[in-house]
Amino acid sequence: MRLAWPFKTHVGNGRDEEADRSSRGDARPDFLCVGAQKAGTSWLYRQCEPHGDFWMPPLKELHYFNKLTKAKRANPPRCRDERDIHFLESVSRLSARPYIDMENYARLFAHKGSRLSGDITPTYSMLNDEIIEQIVSYFPNLKVIFLARDPVERAWSQLSMGVRLGRISRFDATDPDAVIQRLLQPSVLSLSYPSKIVARWRRYVHPDLFRLYFFDDLERNPSELRRVIFSFLGGDPDKPECEPVWLSFSRMNCKPVRRNWAVQPENGQPDMDSHYSGSSLGCSTMICFFGVTGSSRPGQADEDTESSFPVE
Measure the CA angle with vertex 69, ends 169 and 164; round to 5°.
20
Distance of CA 29 to the CA centre of its chain: 15
Q: pTM, whole model, 2 decimals?
A: 0.71
pLDDT tens digits in sequence order for the chain, 312 residues long:
334 455 554 434 444 444 444 434 579 999 999 988 888 999 999 999 999 999 999 999 999 998 876 666 667 788 888 899 999 999 989 988 889 999 999 999 999 999 999 999 999 999 999 999 999 999 999 999 999 988 888 877 778 878 877 778 888 877 888 877 887 777 777 777 788 899 999 999 999 999 999 999 999 999 999 999 999 999 999 987 765 444 333 333 444 444 333 333 333 333 444 333 333 445 555 555 555 444 445 443 333 333 332 323
SS3 letters across 62-103: CCHHHHCCCCCCCCCCCCCCHHHHHHHHHHHHHHCCCCECHH
Domains, the chain, ranges and CATH?
Answer: 15-300 (3.40.50.300)
Residue 232: its pLDDT value, please? 98
Element holding 210 (H helix, E strand): strand 210-214
